[in-house]
Structures are given as structure tokens and as C-alpha cells.
């Protein structure tokens, strides 16, 4: 069963016939993110990136005060903050918080005489581990150059971020160069492979054991299939202070519905019935509900508790900073840097220009009440 089908089945349960619910991706891609298309839905499942697209947050109903109180007892404050408009109104009820962790192939570590780094490890130690594993694996590390899985773990570990604490465009020169140089070092020494350049699917390559380290969210716990017992979760490497990229998904109610009270009442019933915490039963996602996080077993993956522990060091991709406007061109440049096709400093300047041009102004992020 596909991931979204699993989520729908567990989350909605007996409520499925009482409500019209869709994900943004299920709507017409040409008109999916428009108020007109949302009227076909009582509840819409979106990411924080969708929520904070320019002008979009004002098209949803603010969460009622009593549900805000319930949510504050069920979800971490930093997660709820991502679900608020710029003026602090809760606009989305979180259901999924997917962190990035490291997957390690235990047989490869055992063969190399290496212990799994369950207490965390530094980036220099990580590189040395890859060099040791290189003796028995052609390229031990598999990297996915997409949101939160490759670039942010390396950049954030080197005190490099897209924006500074007050929202200005950042990318400090020295720290950006250090993080990108590390990435190039891994490729130049043939310690890693870009998983999207393989001739066959990356999942088959992982299941075969040709790769023994990768960064991924909870989805991999089902994708690995019968090979999962050979894999363990371990923390991401860091350079002093652990940082974990996290992506949040949740439920919003489109503005203008004729029976909004009925929709909110149904969501209240779902909280009372434990539907939000029940998402802990779905291996492919990590639930936002705190009780559900403790129930999550990751389809039996070893050290499943690493997923929950990693949220203690969570950092969120900058949804409020126009992420959906600039993510594709920025990642294209970062991938070129990764492969040595673009000068690091030229890339940094171009990314800064793109970030500046794509920023969303504050008034686009306010809720209308």
C-alpha cells in the first residue's frame, strides 16, 4: 500500500465517509494551489512549504481556540510554531514531522570492525569511517541531493544557513566553502555516489547492500523491504551541536466552507478518538503527535528510537522564506557544486542573489481574521 494510502487509512479510519480530504499533490497540478480547487475539499493535507507560499496562508481558516489548546498538549512547541502565520495564529494541525537520520548497514560495519556511532559522531570521523568502508564497498555513501537530505546537514553542521537570525540572506563565505569542500572531498575520493545518477533505482541499490550509509527520513524503513533487518538508525554526524533537518505536514481547512463548524467538530472527535497519535503505526512517516512518536517502531528497524531522539535537535527548512520559489534553482546550483561543475564562490553569490529575489514579504504571511 502506498504511503499516502496508509496515512489516510490510519488517520481517518471510520471518518473517511464523513469528510472530503485531499493532499495538495492530488489536485490538478495546474490549479492545485488555488482557492477554487480547495472548495472540493473539507480538509487539505499540505506541507509547511505549501502553507507559507505567498498569499496562501490567508486562504485557510485559523484553528479555533479550543483546538489550539488541545494541540499545545499534543505537539512540540517548535512544531506548532511552523504551523502558525507570521502573526502567531495556528493555521495547520500537524500530523507528520519527518526528520533526517543516518541509516547504517550493520554487516558492512561489522566486516570493517567498526562500531555503530549511536552516541553521535563528528564529520571528520564520518569521513574516516567512509574511507574504512571503502575497502569493501566501491562507494559506501549514497547521497540524495534533495531537500533536507544532503546539503542542509552539511551546511548547518558548519554554521552555514540560507538566512540569518533576523531573516536576512546569509550563506557566510567561509562556512559555505567548508561545507561544499567536504561534499566535494567525498565525491573526489569516490567515497559516495549521487543516488539520482544510478542507472537503476536507488532503492534496489540500497537493498543490495552496495551502499552502507545514507541520509533519509522514515520512508526508507518500508522501502528497504526484506533488507531492513541489516540496517540500523544512527544520528547524523555533526561538528559540536547536533542539528536535524525536519519537514512538517499537516491539515488545513480552506476558507469559505459552508459547514466549517462540522469540519472542526469532526477534527475534535479525531483527537478524542486518538486518530492523530495512531499515525505512530505507519512506518513510512514519523508522526507529529508526541504519543504517536513513542509508539513508532519503524517496521522493526534497529534503534528506531533514534528517530524520536533526533527531534530534540530539530531545525526546519525555511518555509516562511519563499522556499518553494527558490528550492529548485538553488538545489540545481548546489548539485553542480557537488559535482565540481561550478566554482564554489560563484555558486554562493548566485544563490544569495536568488534568495534575495525570491523572499516573501511579511504581509503575505499574515492570517486574515
CA distances from 142 to 145, 179, 293, 347 (A): 10, 17, 27, 23
> Is the pTM of the predicted complex or chain greater than 0.85?
yes
- Within 248-319, residue ranges assigned H as helices are 260-272, 290-295, 305-310
For residue 120, what pLDDT is reported? 79
What residue has cell string 500537524? 94
Integer Cα distance of 284 and 98 in angstroms: 9
Asked whether this chain's domains 3-99+245-316 and 101-244+321-362 adopt the same fold, the reply is yes
Count of other CB atoms within 10 angstroms of residue 24:
20
pLDDT tens across the length of the chain (369 residues): 567 787 888 888 777 777 777 665 555 444 445 555 666 688 888 899 888 876 677 888 999 999 999 999 999 999 999 999 888 999 999 999 999 999 999 999 999 999 998 887 999 999 999 999 998 887 899 999 888 899 999 999 999 999 998 889 999 999 999 999 999 999 999 999 999 887 678 888 888 888 999 999 999 998 898 999 999 999 999 988 889 999 999 999 988 777 899 999 999 999 999 999 999 999 999 999 999 999 999 999 999 999 999 999 999 998 888 888 899 999 999 999 999 999 999 999 999 999 998 876 554 555 544
Domain boundaries, the chain: 3-99+245-316, 101-244+321-362
Question: Which segments within 1-152 are labelled E, that is strand?
Answer: 21-23, 43-47, 93-99, 101-105, 141-143
Q: What is the DSSP letter of 359?
A: P
Q: How far apart are CA 292 and CA 276, in angstroms?
A: 7
Span 146-161, pLDDT tens digits? 888 999 999 999 999 9
| Predicted pLDDT of residue 116 | 92
Distance of alpha carbon 92 from alpha carbon 84, whole angstroms: 7
Q: How far apart are CA 317 and CA 161, in angstroms?
A: 10
pLDDT of residue 28: 47
Copy the grid coordinates of residue 5: 494510502
User: DSSP class of residue 31?
Assistant: T
- DSSP state, residue 102: E
Please state which CATH class domain 101-244+321-362 belongs to: alpha beta
- Residue pair 354/164 in contact (Cβ under 8 Å)? The answer is no
Distance of CA 49 to the CA centre of its chain: 11
DSSP string, 39-66: TT-SEEEEEHHHHTSTTTGGGBPPPPHH
Q: pLDDT of 235-291, one tens digit each?
A: 999 988 889 999 999 999 988 777 899 999 999 999 999 999 999 999 999 999 999
The dotted CATH code for 3-99+245-316 is 3.40.190.10
Q: Cell triple for residue 176?
A: 559555505
Give the pLDDT confidence score for residue 368 in this predicted structure. 47
Whole-angstrom Cα distance, residue 80 to residue 98? 14
What is residue 93's predicted lDDT score, i.e. its pLDDT?
97
Decide if 221 contacts 26 (C-beta within 8 A): no
Question: According to the model, what pLDDT value does residue 62 have?
Answer: 95
Asked whether the CA dihedral 114, 338, 203, 7 is positive or negative, the reply is positive
Amino acid at each position: 500500500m502506498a504511503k499516502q494510502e496508509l496515512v489516510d487509512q490510519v488517520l481517518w479510519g471510520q471518518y473517511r465517509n464523513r469528510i472530503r480530504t485531499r493532499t495538495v499533490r492530488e489536485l490538478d497540478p495546474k490549479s492545485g494551489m488555488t482557492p477554487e480547487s480547495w472548495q472540493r475539499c473539507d480538509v487539505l493535507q499540505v506541507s509547511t512549504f505549501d502553507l507559507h507560499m505567498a498569499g496562501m496562508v490567508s486562504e485557510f481558516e485559523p484553528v479555533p481556540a479550543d483546538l489550539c489548546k488541545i494541540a499545545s498538549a499534543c505537539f512540540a512547541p517548535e512544531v506548532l510554531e511552523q504551523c502558525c502565520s507570521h502573526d502567531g495564529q495556528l493555521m495547520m494541525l500537524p500530523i507528520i514531522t519527518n526528520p533526517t537520520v543516518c541509516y547504517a548497514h550493520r554487516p558492512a560495519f561489522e566486516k570493517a570492525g567498526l562500531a555503530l556511532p549511536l552516541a553521535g559522531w563528528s564529520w571528520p570521523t564520518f569521513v574516516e569511517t567512509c574511507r574504512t568502508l571503502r575497502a569493501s564497498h566501491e562507494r559506501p555513501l549514497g547521497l540524495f541531493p534533495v531537500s533536507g537530505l544532503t546539503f542542509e546537514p552539511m551546511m548547518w553542521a558548519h554554521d552555514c544557513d540560507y538566512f540569518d537570525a533576523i531573516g536576512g540572506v546569509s550563506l557566510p563565505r567561509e562556512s559555505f566553502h567548508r561545507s561544499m569542500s567536504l561534499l566535494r572531498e567525498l565525491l573526489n575520493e569516490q567515497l559516495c555516489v549521487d543516488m539520482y545518477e544510478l542507472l537503476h533505482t536507488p532503492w534496489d541499490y540500497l537493498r543490495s547492500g552496495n551502499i552502507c550509509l545514507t541520509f533519509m527520513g522514515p520512508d526508507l524503513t518500508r522501502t528497504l523491504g526484506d533488507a531492513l533487518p541489516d540496517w540500523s538508525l544512527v544520528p547524523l554526524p555533526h561538528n559540536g551541536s547536533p542539528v536535524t533537518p525536519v519537514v512538517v505536514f499537516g491539515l488545513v481547512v480552506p476558507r469559505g466552507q459552508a459547514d466549517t463548524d462540522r469540519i472542526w467538530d469532526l477534527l475534535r472527535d479525531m483527537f478524542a478518538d486518538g486518530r492523530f497519535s495512531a499515525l505512530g503505526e505507519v512506518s513510512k512517516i514519523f508522526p507529529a503527535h508526541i504519543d504517536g512518536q513513542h509508539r513508532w517502531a519503524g517496521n522493526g528497524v534497529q534503534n528506531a528510537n533514534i528517530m524520536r531522539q533526533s527531534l530534540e535537535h530539530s531545525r526546519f527548512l525555511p518555509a516562511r522564506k519563499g522556499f518553494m520559489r527558490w528550492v529548485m534553482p538553488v538545489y540545481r546550483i548546489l548539485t553542480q557544486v557537488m559535482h565540481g561543475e561550478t566554482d564554489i564562490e560563484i555558486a554562493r553569490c548566485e544563490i544569495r542573489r536568488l534568495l534575495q529575489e525570491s523572499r516573501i514579504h511579511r504581509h503575505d504571511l499574515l492570517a486574515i481574521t
